[in-house]
Amino acid sequence: MTQTLPTPRGALTANRPLADLTWLRVGGPADWLFQPADQGDLADFLRDLDPALPVFAMGVGSNLIVRDGGIRGVVIRLGRGFNGIACEGGIVTAGAAALDAHVARRAAQAGLDLTFLRTIPGSIGGAVRMNAGCYGSYVADHLISVRAVARDGGLHDIAAADLRLAYRHSEIPEGWIVTEARFRAAPGDPAKLEARMEEQLARRDASQPTRERSAGSTFRNPAGFSSTGRADDSHELKAWSLIDAAGLRGHRLGGAQMSEKHPNFLLNADGATAADLEELGELVRARVRDTSGHELQWEVIRIGQP
């Protein structure tokens, strides 16, 4: 904390608590929180930052448990200078801080189909990093390229193929910050696209605890793919089904709870700490391993010191 950091144009805050920036409302402080003014500000800051100091890119905190001891190094949170959305010639260009839902809606208004993004919580940077998907569609199906600032401040355009996108996986180099993504989208009638998104929202709200404090799906599906939403969708290797079969629907530990409505949603039900949430998650993993032989992998990102 005694280290001298570069002086950016954006906001740089020391010892900044992070709980209010995550959907689960848990976690200790970051040594530093940097909110760059724009891409140039981010590039200059990273170029001049001590290379030994770790950096962590944080979106809207929708898929994140920050541990109670907080994060050492610099947390970078992209904001207003990174949330633009443009639609032209069948291509949608979105800043990394643009919300997935906003991108889907803006594209639909322009007669372009990125409707799968409508129900995915979070922002485009996180969607790219996790190759987010639902209803049988993934970021990988539409992504053309991303722009990223490297740890040394260099600017790079990376083709989608070079990110090696797989189920909940991408290969973005350590310390690089995605600032923008370009998507290819099929044409569609705006009214029909809007109607499809409304139907998706209704289905999501009927099956998921959208009014509770959660971070979305907690564990990856051992099947290695998201729900397709089709009538022939198999639930045998869905994480929620294995958790349910292990008798852990609604299970509580401290202030943490597995949702009654959807057992693969970990909730901050009553003043949970990050430790409560992670401990309950590990209990679920152990019980599912014992009852089914399957090893659940975390989908929620956990970072920081206990």
Beta bridge partner(s), residue 214: 267
- In angstroms, the Cα distances linking 208 to 12, 213, 270 are 36, 11, 18
Residue range of the domain that includes 67 = 11-77
Domain assignment of residue 67, yes or no:
yes
Q: Which of 28, 57, 77 is the C-terminal boundary of a domain?
A: 77
Share in percent of the chain as helix, strand, coil (round to 5): 30, 30, 45
What angle do helix axes 190-207 and 100-109 make, rounded to 10 degrees?
150
Q: Which of 137, 164, 192 is the C-terminal boundary of a domain?
A: 192
Q: Which residues are catalytic?
A: 168, 217, 299
Q: How many domains does the chain have?
A: 3
Domain assignment of residue 3, yes or no:
no
Domain assignment of residue 200, yes or no:
no
Residue 88 is inside which H or E element, if any? Answer: strand 85-88
Q: Residue 176 corresponds to which tokens in the numbers above?
A: 């690089």
Q: Are 224 and 240 within one domain?
A: yes
The CATH number for 176's domain is 3.30.465.10
pTM, two decimals, is 0.93
**Degrees (nearest 5) of the Cα angle 188, 190, 193?**
70
Question: DSSP code of 224?
Answer: S
Show pLDDT as tens, one digit a residue, over the chain (306 residues): 457 899 999 999 999 999 999 999 999 999 999 999 999 999 999 999 999 999 999 999 999 999 999 999 999 999 999 999 999 999 999 999 999 999 999 999 999 999 999 999 999 999 999 999 988 899 999 999 999 999 999 999 999 999 999 999 999 999 999 999 999 999 999 999 999 999 999 999 999 999 999 999 999 999 777 766 666 555 668 999 999 999 999 999 999 999 999 999 999 999 999 999 999 999 999 999 999 999 999 999 999 999
Q: Which of 165, 192, 219 is the C-terminal boundary of a domain?
A: 192
Q: Residue 196 corresponds to which tokens in the numbers above?
A: 């499809």
- Do β-strands 11-17 and 112-113 pair in parallel, antiparallel, or remain unpaired? unpaired
